[in-house]
C-alpha cells in the first residue's frame, strides 16, 4: 500500500523548521519534477542546503532521499492514469522516439572541450578503472570490452568492496571512470572520493550535472537519461551511457588510429573461431 506523500508532508508541516518548510512547499508544488532531481538539485531549487533536504526526509518518516523519491513515484504511478499504449505500433514509435531524444540530449550536453580533455587524460593514464554498481555496473563491463578491442586494458569493478580496495591503491598516474546515472550512488561516491584523495583523476558519467558524485570529479560528462525511482536501470538510460562510452572509445581509436586498427584485428581474430 502506497504512503500518501502529500498527506504525510502536510501532517508534518507545522513541526518542520522554516528551511524544511521551504522544501515541503516546493515538493508539494512540483511532485512530478522532484522524482527526477538529485538531492543537490532539490536543495538548490528550494534554496536550502543538502543536509536540510535529508533532514526533511527523515522528519516525515522516511529513511533517506531515495526512499523519498520512490514514495513520490509510487504515488504518481497509482494516482495518475497513464495513457493507454497497448497498441504495438504506438509503443514501438514511442520507445524509439524516447531513445533518439535521450541520445540527442546527451550529445548536446557534452562539450568538445570536455571530451578532448577526457581523451587526453585517458591516453596519459597508467591504468584505467571503471566503477559502476547495479545497472551502471553492466555498462562498466561493456565499456571494458569496448576498450579492450582497441588495445586499451581497463579494469571494470562492479563490487563495492573491490572498488574501495582498488581506489585505495591508485595514484596520480591513474584514472577512474565513474558511472552513475543518479550521481548519488553511495558505494560509487565513496570509492571515487577515496580514489581522488589518493591523487587519481576522476571522470564522472552521470545524468545529473550537480549531483554529489560531481564534487569529486575532474571532468563531468552528462550521460544517461532521467528516470524515476520506478524505472531504475531503464534501457534508454543505459543506451545514453553507452553512447558516452562509444564517444570515448571511438575518440581514442581516432587519435591512435594505426594501433587501434591493429588491435581490433587481433582481438577479432582471437574470437573468430568461437563463432559458427
User: Which pLDDT tens digit goes with each residue over 261-276?
Assistant: 999 999 989 988 887 7
N-term to C-term CA, the chain: 51
Q: Please say whether the beta carbons of 192 and 204 come within 8 A.
A: yes
For residues 147 and 245, what is the distance between their CA atoms, to the nearest angstrom?
Answer: 9
- Return all residues near 50 (Cβ < 8 A) that are at least 6 apart: 39, 40, 43, 212
Residues of the chain with CATH 1.10.10.10: 5-79
Minimal CA–CA distance to 102: which of 242, 228, 252? 242
Q: pTM score, two decimals? A: 0.75
When pLDDT is cut at 50, 70 and 90, the band that residue 48 belongs to is very high
For residues 181 and 160, what is the distance between their CA atoms, to the nearest angstrom?
Answer: 16
Using one digit for the tens of pLDDT, what is the confidence trace for 87-132? 555 778 888 888 888 888 888 888 899 999 999 999 999 999 999 9
Cell of 253: 581509436
Q: Can you give the pLDDT at residue 229?
A: 61
Residues of the chain with CATH 3.40.50.10490: 103-274
Pick the CATH number of 5-79 from 3.40.50.1000, 1.10.10.10, 2.40.50.140, 3.40.250.10: 1.10.10.10
Cell of 150: 582497441
For residues 205 and 231, what is the distance between their CA atoms, to the nearest angstrom?
Answer: 19
- Return all residues near 244 (Cβ < 8 A) that are at least 6 apart: 106, 110, 205, 221, 223
Fold of 103-274: Rossmann fold (3.40.50)
Using one digit for the tens of pLDDT, what is the confidence trace for 145-200? 999 999 999 999 999 999 999 999 999 999 999 999 888 889 999 999 999 999 99
Structural element, H or E, at residue 219:
strand 219-222
Amino acid at each position: 500500500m502506497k504512503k500518501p506523500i502529500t498527506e504525510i508532508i502536510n501532517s508534518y508541516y507545522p513541526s518542520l523548521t522554516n528551511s524544511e518548510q521551504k522544501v515541503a512547499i516546493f515538493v508539494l508544488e512540483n511532485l512530478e519534477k522532484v522524482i527526477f532531481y538529485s538531492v543537490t538539485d532539490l536543495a538548490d531549487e528550494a534554496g536550502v542546503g543538502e543536509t536540510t533536504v535529508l533532514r526533511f526526509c527523515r522528519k516525515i518518516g522516511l529513511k533517506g532521499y531515495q526512499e523519498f523519491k520512490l514514495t513520490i513515484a509510487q504515488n504518481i504511478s497509482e494516482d495518475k492514469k497513464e495513457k493507454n499504449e497497448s497498441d504495438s505500433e504506438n509503443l514501438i514509435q514511442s520507445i524509439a522516439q524516447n531513445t533518439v531524444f535521450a541520445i540527442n540530449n546527451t550529445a548536446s550536453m557534452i562539450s568538445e572541450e570536455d571530451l578532448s580533455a577526457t581523451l587526453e587524460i585517458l591516453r596519459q593514464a597508467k591504468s584505467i578503472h571503471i566503477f559502476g554498481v547495479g545497472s551502471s555496473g553492466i555498462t562498466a563491463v561493456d565499456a571494458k570490452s569496448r576498450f579492450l578491442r582497441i588495445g586499451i586494458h581497463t579494469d571494470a569493478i562492479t563490487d563495492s568492496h573491490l572498488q574501495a580496495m582498488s581506489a585505495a591503491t591508485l595514484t596520480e598516474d591513474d584514472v577512474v571512470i565513474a558511472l552513475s546515472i543518479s550521481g548519488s550512488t553511495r558505494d560509487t561516491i565513496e570509492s571515487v572520493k577515496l580514489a581522488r584523495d589518493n591523487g587519481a583523476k576522476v571522470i564522472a558519467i552521470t545524468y545529473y550535472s550537480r549531483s554529489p558524485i560531481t564534487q569529486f570529479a575532474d571532468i563531468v560528462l552528462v550521460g544517461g537519461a532521467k528516470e524515476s525511482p520506478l524505472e531504475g536501470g531503464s534501457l534508454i538510460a543505459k543506451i545514453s551511457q553507452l553512447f558516452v562510452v562509444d564517444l570515448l572509445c571511438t575518440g581514442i581509436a581516432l587519435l591512435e588510429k594505426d594501433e587501434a586498427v591493429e588491435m581490433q584485428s587481433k582481438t577479432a581474430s582471437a574470437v573468430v573461431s568461437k563463432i559458427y
